[in-house]
Chain A
Amino acid sequence: GAVVSQHPSRVICKSGTSVKIECRSLDFQATTMFWYRQFPKQSLMLMATSNEGSKATYEQGVEKDKFLINHASLTLSTLTVTSAHPEDSSFYICSARDQRAPQPQHFGDGTRLSIL
């Protein structure tokens, strides 16, 4: 069964709306989670590393004020796309690593975000 749960699986909303995506590790604690973005027919690009109890580490070119990440507990990280616009439409997917069993990273099922 799934070890990482991501919710919602699909979001369609109006431009200017803020959207929150949740990523939960179901049967393990994850001090670190990762957020990726994937455009159609392209690869996964790492956006940021979510660290429990501290600030997220963003990849170059990713706007931290646009993509707010909160990792308030050992099993939950959230990504909030603030004031979303059509260019933010994409597939967002999270992953987490079980420290007890280093391999592999477990991925959520992803969130398809469509901004009208």
Chain B
Amino acid sequence: AQKITQTQPGMFVQEKEAVTLDCTYDTSDPSYGLFWYKQPSSGEMIFLIYQGSYDQQNATEGRYSLNFQKARKSANLVISASQLGDSAMYFCAMREGYGTGTASKLTFGTGTRLQVTL
């Protein structure tokens, strides 16, 4: 079974509008972390936001917020007030456990390509 599922291969949003990128995950480990990364066409991976499995509140970082629904195993990324520079690939990722070494490895979803239009 896929550990991280992103069902939207591509999304369009108008500038200044909000957009939600979906992510569901599968794990039996009670301790895990969920990440969102942005990858522009140049290739670098830019960290956006993190949610720990024990965090009581949804994570927020500027225009980014994470809609964490633990019972449904979903961690959707919400981008508010979209900008043209937000056009990129977005990857959801999970780290199982809070350990070090190999326990730190990330498993990535297949990504969603976001296009912001005028």
A residues contacting B by CB (< 8 A) are 31-32, 34, 42-46, 49, 51, 57, 91, 93, 95, 97, 99, 102-110, 112
State the total of A-B contacts with C-beta under 8 angstroms. Answer: 62
B residues contacting A by CB (< 8 A) are 33, 35, 37, 42-45, 47, 50, 52, 91, 98, 100-102, 104-111
How many Å lie between the Cα of A102 and that of B103 in the bound state? 12
Interface of A, helix, strand, loop or mixed by DSSP: strand
> Can you spell out 8 A-B residue pairs with CB atoms less than 8 angstroms apart?
A32-B102, A34-B104, A43-B108, A43-B111, A44-B45, A44-B108, A46-B105, A93-B43
Min CB distance, A99 to chain B, in Å? 7
A42-B111, A97-B100, A107-B37 known, 11 other contacts, Cβ within 8 Å: A31-B101, A32-B104, A43-B109, A44-B106, A46-B106, A49-B102, A51-B101, A91-B43, A93-B45, A103-B52, A112-B43
Most chain A Cβ neighbours within 10 Å, of B50, B98, B107, B108: B108
Which A residues touch B111, using CB under 8 A?
42-43
B92 closest partner in A (C-beta):
A43
Check B98–A44 contact: CB distance below 8 A: no
Selected from A42, A45, A104, A107, the residue in CB contact (under 8 A) with B50 is A104
Which A residues touch B44, using CB under 8 A?
107-110
Check B110–A42 contact: CB distance below 8 A: yes
How many Å lie between the Cα of A23 and that of B13 in the bound state? 36
Min CB distance, A105 to chain B, in Å? 6
How many Å lie between the Cα of A106 and that of B45 in the bound state? 8
Check B101–A102 contact: CB distance below 8 A: no
A33 closest partner in B (C-beta):
B104
Check B91–A34 contact: CB distance below 8 A: no
